[in-house]
Structure 1
Amino acid sequence: MDNMVLYQVADRVATITINRPEKRNALNPQLISELTEALIDASEDDLVKVIILKANGDAFSAGADLEYLQQLQNNTFEENVADSNKLKKLFTTIYYLPKVVIAQVEGHAIAGGCGLANVCDIVFATPESKFGYTEVKIGFVPAIVSCFLVRKVSETVAKEILLTGKSFSAQQALEYKLINFVTNSSEINLKVKEFALSLCNESSGNSLSITKQLITQTTNPSLEKSLETAVQINARVRESDDFKKGIASFLNKEKINW
């Protein structure tokens, strides 16, 4: 089985690449596990000072693998809690990682994929990139990802994004303050690498780590409690009739009549 995550290090920068392009880099258990492990490896690698997270193919990530979610409908509540906790671990690993994580978004970053990008410390995107938390459109909820979103944008913007499930452009994401930079696709590799190297060459690694810790631990004291609630909600919604209807209709390419 091919690796779903690629890992390389050069010039004190680890590049972690999501490598499931045939499925638009949708998140399934293997990918979530490999990605979490790669991030932890980079965290513990003395040769690494900054991390770049990117993806192969024409999408950054389409979010949760819906075929896998359909299979989970036979799980018990406890099994779905355990599964949801794996996704929570991936997001908290990035959020609390003692090294700066830069997302390089090319193509769509949708639902869990949008959350994956936005939990990173710095986000670059191309003008063609699309973002969105589309869960409500298929009978699901943006449970875990919402815990991080509401800490980046105002409640007004969070409600608009999460309740409408609309997709929006990179420029709109920039205006929402979800991302930091919009960069042409021909230049994004260079610009992200230059930014990463500037952190490596101009900033103390210890200071970067402690500053990130300062922000994450002093501004979000209730995050862990929110995430615990989100995991429970995530698992409970998987048992709902709307979730089963939405996933089945989407996979069968049928119009969903809500």
Structure 2
Amino acid sequence: MPEYITEERLSDGRIARITLNRPEARNAQNRGMLVELDEALRRAERDDEVAVIILAGSGKSFSAGHDMGSQVAADEELPGPRQHPTFRIDGGTAQSHVERRTLQEWHYYFDCTRRWRDLRKITIAQVHGNVISAGLMLMWACDLIVASENTTFADIVANRLGMPGVEYLAHPWEFGPRKAKELLLTGDSIDAEEGHRLGMVSKVFPDDELATRTLAFAERIAHRPAMARLLIKDSVNDAVDAMGFSESLKHSFYLHQLGHAHWTALHDDKFPAAKPGPDIEDWRAAGPIRPSRRDEP
């Protein structure tokens, strides 16, 4: 029985809804959640009755990104009775800090996200509240994005961790090159309306109607012939790949690991990111994320 997600079959089984279910942590992504999500997406993909998969989040936010500091995340990583078994495979026992982190992040942050992008179903991200850093990765792996009016999108990895964005760096493709640079360098946010103007968000619904309207949207898509859905998805994904998307993702992943290696070499305790200081906000005490304004520095 999954601990960190819920699964439903709706509309006579044609719609699968998978919901991130750590509301007390704003659906921060611990290892157990990511593994359960991968398994749930594969179950929905295997189910021939399912035409469309909705990925949602419980509580106040879709996802606040990677779990950076909870006791759950610490217990999963450190040796002991609560260690998640995936920290003992896929490079988890490598002696080199750089090798271990590179292999672990490849398998559990990067390659899984690429795999979710290519699922043999149409996927819809149903987002609300904060979609922060690694929350963007989950959302961008989906074919379509539906947002509530209160949604905020931001990547704060650079200004709070001194890293060049997240592991699955789709920002130039989703925001456009210059907007991507601005948002990565500042950590500022955009709202659902700007996400829609950029072409990243398909629909913006009132907060209290998000679930019902997303389901109606999914039902509409589910009525298209299965082969038409699949071929449309592959045609568009392949066109983006022909423009360099997949190679760009892979290159950016290794630049991300170079960032980790830089900080690992700099710190005596091998901490793989920047620590709070004159140029880095303390993410545990940082204030609200600033919205990106065209008339403000």
Taking structure 2 as the reference length, what is the TM-score of the superposition?
0.77
Per the alignment, in what secondary structure is the counterpart of residue 144 of structure 1?
coil
Quote the residue 2:225 is aligned against.
204
CA distance, structure 2, for counterparts of residue 90 and residue 54 of structure 1: 18
1:9-63 Cα offsets, whole Å, 9 max, x none, are 1220000000111111111211111111211211111121000000111110001
- C-alpha spacing 1:213/1:18, structure 2 compared with 1 (3 Å): same
- Asked if 1:253 is matched to 2:285, the reply is yes
C-alpha deviation, 1:198, in angstroms:
0.8
- Aligned residue among 26, 48, 71 for 1:46: 48
Q: 1:126 corresponds to which letter in structure 2?
A: S
- Aligned residue among 273, 276, 279 for 1:243: 273
Contact 1:50-1:100 within 8 A present in 2 as well = yes
Alignment of 1:118-133 (within 5 A): 118-133=140-155
Contact 2:171-2:177 within 8 A present in 1 as well = no
- Asked if 1:154 is matched to 2:181, the reply is no
Q: 1:245 corresponds to which letter in structure 2?
A: K
Q: 1:6 corresponds to which letter in structure 2?
A: T
Contact 2:6-2:18 within 8 A present in 1 as well = yes
- Asked if 1:142 is matched to 2:165, the reply is yes
Quote the residue 2:239 is aligned against.
218
Quote the residue 2:291 is aligned against.
none
C-alpha deviation, 1:115, in angstroms:
2.7
C-alpha deviation, 1:179, in angstroms:
0.9
What's the Cα RMSD here? 2.5
1:143-164 Cα offsets, whole Å, 9 max, x none, are 4332x23223321222222222
CA distance, structure 1, for counterparts of residue 127 and residue 197 of structure 2: 16
C-alpha deviation, 1:87, in angstroms:
0.8
- C-alpha spacing 1:8/1:237, structure 2 compared with 1 (3 Å): same
Once structures 1 and 2 are overlaid, which stretch shifts more, 88-97 or 45-54? 88-97
CA distance, structure 2, for counterparts of residue 254 and residue 212 of structure 1: 39
Once structures 1 and 2 are overlaid, which stretch shifts more, 120-129 or 74-83? 74-83
CA distance, structure 1, for counterparts of residue 273 and residue 133 of structure 2: 15
C-alpha deviation, 1:249, in angstroms:
6.3
CA distance, structure 1, for counterparts of residue 115 and residue 219 of structure 2: 22
CA distance, structure 1, for counterparts of residue 132 and residue 286 of structure 2: 20
Taking structure 1 as the reference length, what is the TM-score of the superposition?
0.87
Quote the residue 2:91 is aligned against.
none
Quote the residue 2:15 is aligned against.
13
Q: Which has the higher contact order (CA 8 A, sep 6+)?
A: 1
User: What is the aligned length?
Assistant: 251
- Asked if 1:37 is matched to 2:60, the reply is no
1:145-187 Cα offsets, whole Å, 9 max, x none, are 32x2322332122222222210121112212222111110121
Alignment of 1:55-204 (within 5 A): 55-67=57-69, 68=73, 76-85=97-106, 86-138=108-160, 139-146=162-169, 148-201=170-223, 203-204=224-225
Q: 1:176 corresponds to which letter in structure 2?
A: L
Once structures 1 and 2 are overlaid, which stretch shifts more, 221-230 or 34-43? 221-230
Gapped runs of 5+ residues in structure 1? none
Q: 1:142 corresponds to which letter in structure 2?
A: G
1:123-157 Cα offsets, whole Å, 9 max, x none, are 111111111111111112214332x2322332122
Once structures 1 and 2 are overlaid, which stretch shifts more, 231-240 or 155-164? 231-240
Once structures 1 and 2 are overlaid, which stretch shifts more, 165-174 or 49-58? 165-174
